[in-house]
Structure 1
């Protein structure tokens, strides 16, 4: 609660001092995958561990944004619900999270801008589909990644394309019926984000 109050005071202060302040809705599609899948293998036999990169799939995101602009530079905090899907040979992996990127941007040419900054992520749920295997919770509920990209503002409408990555692994461990089926998945996202926003 204290952290939320501090953020509210910061945003209020930015809004008072900024030349232009806007708030709005945004949503869109994301295309990418989580990190590497690793089968653990069996230490008591000759069954070795194996590694596999996931296949990119489409997910979605939706949420709110604010933008505080001063002298052509702006700060844009957001809060978004995101679903990221990845296909592995053994199963489909679905990750649900709350994203809170805080981007610093620059208006470079007319309606065109560039932006980058950290993205704080809170993992809500990770689950497997199309399999009898089970998976546990990720190691860390909250992680920090990054986003960078470009945007186009046309009146109240905005269009964004960004790349999102992560700084460190965040592993979830899974169990099969036998030791050879035990595995881990790196839930770290690597994805392209395509968004449409509307300023209220």
Structure 2
């Protein structure tokens, strides 16, 4: 968490070197799912063979702050967001609350339209299963990195973004049953992100 806070401070401080800088708030909807479940095929059957299953796409939400600064025609847009996701698997629901830190670079391509892409850092605040007796532990890596890419419209102080987020690699959360049948769930989400923002 200290590394995430330090990175945020460094990125926000770099706005002092920019030609133009703005700051604002944003929020919106997430639609997607966390990664693959690997474990027993039926939570009620301790002797069932292992299988793999992807989470069912579900809706979540995010809200937070952003800063945007432009240097020689390219803008950099770091964001600090709280994100809540709730994904469904066959035998349980997987609920996750996290802090996201996307750091995107982009260009204005036509009027108010821009395109952007960059890494997205993820720090998980809570990680739990619902509607099951299975128990889950912490994730493999405290901070993991994925990517985001998308397009946006700026209409004065208002902005609208549509992005896709994917993962460079898995970041498994490990769980256990009452027996030796352990399981894993990949905590990195693949999702679409729709946001509205307001710049001060």
Q: Which whole-Å CA distance do the structure 2 matches of 1:19 and 1:170 have between them?
A: 38
8 Å contact kept, 2:30–2:62? yes
Q: Could you tell me which residue of structure 1 aligns to residue 187 of structure 2?
A: 187
In the alignment of these two chains, the number of paired residues is 195
SS at match of 1:55: coil
Q: Which whole-Å CA distance do the structure 2 matches of 1:6 and 1:96 have between them?
A: 20
Q: Could you tell me which residue of structure 1 aligns to residue 51 of structure 2?
A: 50
Bigger CA drift: 17-26 or 107-116? 17-26
- Whether 1:75 and 2:42 are equivalent positions in the alignment is no
CA RMSD of aligned residues (A): 2.2
Question: Which TM-score applies when normalising by structure 1?
Answer: 0.89
Cα offset, 1:8, TM superposition: 3.7
Distance 1:175 1:24, change over 3 A: same
Distance 1:59 1:9, change over 3 A: closer
Question: Which TM-score applies when normalising by structure 2?
Answer: 0.89
8 Å contact kept, 1:56–1:85? no
Q: Which whole-Å CA distance do the structure 1 matches of 2:48 and 2:111 have between them?
A: 59
Gaps of 5+ in 2: none
Q: Could you tell me which residue of structure 2 aligns to residue 99 of structure 1?
A: 100
Ranges of 4+ aligned residues in structure 1 off by more than 4 Å = 1-7
